[in-house]
C-alpha cells in the first residue's frame, strides 16, 4: 500500500478526547517513511474554517464531505486501510490556498 499526496484513504483515527477509534476518510498531504501527514474529513456540517469539497463525487466519496484544517494528523501506515479516491485539481488548488493562508 502506497499513499500519495491528495489521495483519500480510510483510516482508523483516534478521537481527540478519548481512546475511541473511528474509521473515517483522511486526506493525505505528505508521506515520510512510515508516517502519513493527513487531514480529517467528515460528512458532518462544516465548522468555521472547514473546506467543503466541490468534487466530492470525483474523489469517490459517498456523501458531501468537508476537510477539517484545525488538526493535522500523523498516521502510522498500519492504521490506514484502503484508498477511496483522489481529489480533483480544483479541490487541490483550493486546499493549497487555505493551507498557505494558515501558515
3-state secondary structure 15-56: CCCCCCEEEEEEEEEEEECCEEEEEEEECCCCCCCCEECCCC
0.85 cut: is pTM over it?
yes
pLDDT over 90 percentage in the chain? 67
Confirm if 10 and 25 have CB atoms less than 8 A apart: yes
pLDDT higher than 90, residue 77:
no
CATH class label, 7-102? mainly beta
Identify the band that residue 72 occupies on the pLDDT scale cut at 50, 70 and 90.
confident
Give pLDDT tens digits for 11-27.
998 887 888 998 999 99
Amino acid at each position: 500500500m502506497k499513499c500519495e499526496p491528495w489521495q483519500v484513504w480510510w483510516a482508523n483515527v483516534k478521537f481527540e478526547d478519548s481512546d475511541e477509534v473511528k474509521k473515517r476518510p483522511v486526506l493525505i498531504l505528505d508521506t515520510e517513511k512510515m508516517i502519513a501527514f493527513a487531514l480529517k474529513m467528515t460528512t458532518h456540517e462544516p465548522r468555521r474554517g472547514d473546506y467543503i469539497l466541490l468534487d466530492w463525487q470525483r474523489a469517490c466519496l459517498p456523501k458531501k464531505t468537508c476537510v477539517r484544517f484545525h488538526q493535522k494528523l500523523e498516521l502510522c501506515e498500519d492504521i490506514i486501510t484502503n484508498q477511496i479516491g483522489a481529489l480533483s485539481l480544483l479541490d487541490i488548488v483550493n486546499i493549497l490556498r487555505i493551507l498557505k493562508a494558515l501558515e
